[in-house]
Structure formats: C-alpha cells, structure tokens
Chains A and B, each alone.
Chain A
Amino acid sequence: MASNKRRRASYVAALAAAGALLLSACGGGSTEGEDIGASGEFPTSGSGVVNVYNWTDYIDPEELKRFTAETGIEVILDTYDSNETLLAKLQSGATGYDVIVPSDYMVEQMIELNLLQNIGVSSFPNGGNIKDNLMDVYWDPGRNYTAPWNYGTTGIACNFAAEPECANIKSWKDYFTAGLDKMDSLKDQVEVVSAALRATGVGPDDLCTTDKAKYIAAEELLAGFKPAVIESDGGIERVTAGTSNVRHAWNGSTHRMTEENPDVQFIYPSEGLNLWADNLAVPVGAPNLDNAKIFINWMMDAKAAGAQSNFSGYDNGIKGSDAFMNESLKTDPAVVVPADKQALISPLPNCDEEARELYTQVFTTWTTGQ
C-alpha cells in the first residue's frame, strides 16, 4: 500500500498540469519521428499482419489504412469494453494478440502477472517523442513495456437541451441520485465504484481504502441508481441519437458527442474525477513481435498521434502532436481541463488485491441488483 501511494503521488505530481498539457506544448512544433530502422536493432521492414486488441471505437480506421500503406503491414483489429475484459481474455489463453491497450493500473497488474513483454519502448526511434511527464509513470518507470496512448478524464456527459435537470447535476451524488429517465452508465467497475465512493465522501487519496464501511455506503448509494443502460460501448451513438441524455462518460467521447450535438456538455463532478492514461503494450506470446514494435513506433509519431486524437477526442502522450490536432479539440473544456477544475483531477485508483475484491463485490451487487 505504502509503495502504491508513493508511486501514485509521483504520478499525481507528474500529471498535475495534465489539463494544460495541450496548451503548454503549443508552439513546440512537430517532431517528425526518425525513419524506422535508424536505431540499430529496430525491425526495419514489415509484412504480414499485426493483431491489435483495442477498446471499442478508439482507433482511427483511416490512420490504420495509412499505416498499412506505409509499412505493408495489415492491421487486424479486435475490440473490448473494459480493462477487466481485456485481462480476462488474455488470461483465458488468447495468445494471438500483438498489441493491446491497457490503462495505467492494468499495466501494473499485467506486468505483475507476467503478461507483458519488455520491449524497451523508450529506445524506439520515436521513443524520444514521449512527453516528459509521461515518461516516469508509476506503472512503467522509464517506459520499457508501454508507449503512451491517449489519456483523459471520466466525468458526466449531459444533454442540457433534452434534459433540463442537467443544470442541477454538479456532483457524482447528483448523478447517482438524479433518478432521471434515459440515464446511462459505464460498465466499468473501477470507474463506477470509485465515483460512488467519491459521492459518499471518500477523498481522492483514499479511493483504495479497505474500510468496508465506506464500501457499504457506496453500495447503498448505488442500490438506488437504476440507469436505463449499463454499457461502456456505444455511448456516443446513444447520446447523439437522443436515446440517452445523461451518461457517465469519458471526456473524449463527450467531445465527440458535443461535435455532433453542442447541447451535450461535459460536467466536472465536484467530488473530483479520475484521470486515466492508456498505453500500447505487447503481450507475452505475441506472434508478430516485430510488427508490433513497428506499429507502436509508428503510432508514437506526432502526426499519427495527432490524427488519432482528432478521431478519439482525447489528448495523447506524444510531443508535438498538438500541431496536428483540430482547433475544436484544443479548445473544448472537456478535453483541456479549465484552470478552476484542475484540482478536481486525480489518477484512476490503482488498488491492491483486497480493495480490488471490494470493488468487484460492490460492482457485482449493483449490476445483478438491477
């Protein structure tokens, strides 16, 4: 626990200004990656395929086409809806994936379980493009196993025109107790349970508590929360189509909703919200290791990372990528955390096994109690 906390603290320090990253990095210009092969051992040419296992609707298909055109490697994409689903699939013997996209805390778990390969990311040709504050992260100090992908926050998306109550949703507590029609929830135990813990008065530094009383309070709050939909996937579609009006949502997906319908806005809950950082990693047993490295290196290029951000709506961990980002992305308060909201942000809790088990229990009780 102690070491956990310490590591978390340094991560908080590193990302304290996360929201301002985009703005501060402006003017850095593009640092085009060196050609593949510039560094001695790095695989030079590709052929065949790379099996990518990513979150649903999280990678730009046009960029994948460009990757194939430039490298000759075909991308086979498969998708999942949560870190836990990814872990379950890997643990049940799906050994054919070359690149996966776990979040921070999951990377640490996977390294502990010997599921990831040390591929020396920081020494990749594009390794120098990693933003400084995403270099020495707690889950992979010095970036050996993982390359930074997108990062963002998890708050509430609300359609202020369709649901007048949106104006009154200021906190997680408001969200969980709103009792509106057309409410929508993520299906993600870490996000849902940590939000419920925050709503019942648990501070951001205590989200991995093993004090059962706190989980009981969260469980009681959740018992009254009966959204119409519990699904991590498809939220953008539901909210823009008007099937859902209030959703526990990632900031990038909310950005995409706002693009479709300006009435949808991102709410920063007053109890604070999670900052997560996703990563590209190579699982043990990957059949196309060289292609995986080429893929990861290619994605660490500023242009690719910028285009990817334009698609997904999140900021990313690559220097200079902002030069390739849309203006609407760089000015959306959902993506660029406003100064007065910075203090609300804390990293996704990275809990030990005991607390994880409590999370699972609360989450299962909630979902099966629907």
Chain B
Amino acid sequence: MTAVTTPPKKQAQRGQPGQSSPKLAYLPILFLAFAIGIPLLIIVVYSFLEKPSQGTGVKWVFTLENYKALFIQEKLDGTTVLDTRYIKVLWTSFYYSIITTVVTLVLSIPVAMWIATRDARKRNLLVALVTLPFWISILIRTYGMRQIIADEGPIGKFLGLFDISFSILYTPTATILGLIYVFLPFMILPIYASAERFDFRLAEAAYDLGAKRMTVVRRVILPSIRPGVISGIALVFIPALGSFLQSDMLGGGKTNMVANVIANNFGQARNWPFGSALAVLLIVLTLLFVLIMQGAAKKRGDKVELV
C-alpha cells in the first residue's frame, strides 16, 4: 500500500519505543523471506524452465522460450508471427484498471469533499458507511453486482418496462463495473483523509479575495487533497491490475485479464513455466508503475513510502 504523507518532523532517536533492539525484526523478516521471498524467486526460476511433457510442474532445463512465447507465436503451420494475444491481455488489464481508476477518482473527489463538509456526527456515520464494504467479502460483493446487472436482474427488469434491452453481464463493461464497484472505497477513503484535514477557511479566504469557484477548486482544494488522490490511485490501480474474481465472475470466464491467464496456466492449461513468465512480466510492470508514482510524488515534494 503506498501511503503518501508529508514528511514528519525529525524525531530524536533517544528514548523512543524502539529502545528495543533491531533483532526483534529478524524473525518476521526471516519468515517473510521464506513465505514471500522464496515464492517470488520460484516464479522467476520457473519462468526460465521447460514445461514437462505431462504438463504440470517444470522440467529443469534452462530456456528462454517462455519469454519468447509471450510475443512470438509459432503457428501450427510452422510459421512464426508476432503474437499480440498476450500483449492484448496485458493491455486489457491496464485498460480496465485505468478506466477503473479514472472513474473511481471522478466519483470519489466529490464524495470525499461532500463527506468532509458535513457536520461531525453525520460525517462519522458516512465514513462508517464507506468503510463497511472493506469488511465485506469481495467475492460476495462481486456476486451481488452480478445479480444486479444480470439481464433478468432489477436493472434489466426496470428497463424492460420501457422495452429497452439490457445485456451487459459477461461483457468487458460488466468486468469494469465490478472493478469500479469493488475498489471505489479504496479511492474515497484516502481522499477523504486528506480532505478532512483541509482547512476550509483557506477556500473561504480565496473566495473573499475574489477567486471564482473553479479557481478555488483548482488552486486551493485540489492541491491540498493531492496526497489522498495519489494514495487512492495506487490503492485502486495496483489491485485492479492483478484482479481475478471480477473478470472471472462478470466477464463470462473468458481469460481476458492477466491474472486469469496466469491462473489458467497453473490450472487447466497446465503450463507453469509460461504462466510464470507472464507473472514476472506483471511484477515488472507493476513495479514500474510504483516507481513512476513515486517519482511523480517526489517531484511534488510529497514523500511516498511503501506500507
């Protein structure tokens, strides 16, 4: 989780609760190296190995074929062509995630600002309402969405009254809608956290000095919620990119996002090395995105730290 904070004042090292020695951290680090580090290493190693003749698992023979297969297809007729299928899968994942991020952002700024400008009691209730979905299984929320947007669901029935046909389940639209639905609170909350700290007297001062409403928004309000926006983008975009359930349940089981293709290669398709190569590519692209975000935030003087 990329949390963006303005740098805190340097604190004296003496007398900190961290009198406790750094040795305390060795056990958790060791454990994480085992349970997180080694699995990642294994995926990297797998991606350079051959697929055994029986499918599942790996054959310990070094090869670069899996990476080649991401971009070049040896067709059945013996010709090799540029393979756009996996590029397309990656692009689809990016494209869905970008739309999800943009839509959640556009919806969240007004909502966060609106909540921040309610009075205290109402504000707490609203924050609780936005937080609650965090605690509800993503599976169940996605399933609820599937029932709502099913052809014979409530929207379909309502539009049916006006003879408008409604059929979006098992299309990309449904997947994107599911992503927006599931990740929306991840965008609202960090923006709200920033907006809550915003001193609305600044906006008033700007009004008093004769600024137009849009100018106030652009020059005063938006800059002050920027850390929340950056956090929100990271919190929505990164998990959306690797999401599995939404495309599986709402997209009709067609393997059109990268996580589904990886899962399929470790399941029915039984090609672990190729699935691993795709996973490595996904890791690299995700890290690239994080670095870009960090770079962008640093330029603006915000400090971005992981966790």
Contacts and interface: CB of A to CB of B under 8 A. Distances in A.
Q: Do chains A and B touch in the complex (CB under 8 A)?
A: yes
Interface of A: 81-82, 84-85, 87-88, 91-92, 113, 181-182, 187, 189, 212-213, 215-216, 219, 227-231, 241-243, 353, 358, 360-365, 367-370
A243 B150 contact: yes
Contact-residue bracket for chain B: 20 to 34
A85 B89 contact: no
Interface in B259-292: 261, 264, 266-271
Given A88-B56, A216-B75, A230-B254, 17 more contacts: A82-B268, A84-B55, A85-B267, A88-B266, A91-B55, A91-B270, A92-B56, A92-B57, A92-B266, A113-B54, A228-B170, A229-B170, A231-B252, A242-B152, A358-B76, A364-B269, A365-B85
B169 interface: yes
B268 to A, nearest CB: 5
Contact of B268 (A84, A113, A361): A84
Q: Is the interface of B mostly helix, strand, loop or mixed?
A: loop
Contact of A243 (B55, B151, B269, B271): B151
Q: Is the interface of A mostly helix, strand, loop or mixed?
A: helix
Contacts of A230: 252-254
Contact of B76 (A216, A353, A370): A216
A219 B269 contact: no
Contacts of A84: 55, 267-270
Contacts, number: 85
Contacts of B167: 181-182
A219 B255 CA distance: 17
Nearest to B256: A370
A229 B251 CA distance: 8
Contacts of A228: 170-171, 252
Contacts of B54: 91, 113
A337 B268 CA distance: 30
A59 to B, nearest CB: 21
25 contacts: A84-B267, A84-B269, A88-B267, A88-B270, A91-B55, A113-B54, A181-B167, A182-B167, A187-B253, A216-B75, A216-B76, A229-B170, A229-B253, A229-B254, A230-B254, A241-B152, A242-B151, A243-B150, A353-B53, A361-B76, A362-B76, A367-B254, A368-B85, A368-B89, A370-B254
B78 to A, nearest CB: 8
Residue of B86, B167, B171 most packed against chain A (CB within 10 A):
B167
A84 B57 CA distance: 13
Interface of B: 53-57, 73, 75-78, 85-86, 89, 150-152, 167, 169-171, 252-256, 261, 264, 266-271
A363 to B, nearest CB: 8
Nearest to B74: A361
Which 6 A-B residue pairings sit nearest by Cβ, starting from the closest?
A91-B56, A231-B253, A229-B252, A370-B254, A228-B170, A84-B268
Nearest to A358: B76
Contacts of A88: 55-56, 266-268, 270
A363 B169 CA distance: 24
Nearest to A360: B269
A121 B73 CA distance: 46
Contact of A87 (B56, B255, B256, B264): B56
A260 B86 CA distance: 40
Given A91-B54, A92-B56, A368-B85, A187 B252 contact: no
Contacts of A92: 56-57, 266
Nearest to B54: A113
A368 B268 CA distance: 13
B42 to A, nearest CB: 13
Contacts of B85: 365, 368-369
Contacts of A364: 269
Nearest to A241: B152
Contacts of A368: 85-86, 89, 255, 261
B90 to A, nearest CB: 11
Contacts of B77: 212-213, 216
Contacts of A181: 167
Nearest to A242: B152
Nearest to B73: A365
A215 B264 contact: no
A365 B77 CA distance: 14
A54 B289 CA distance: 42
Nearest to A184: B252
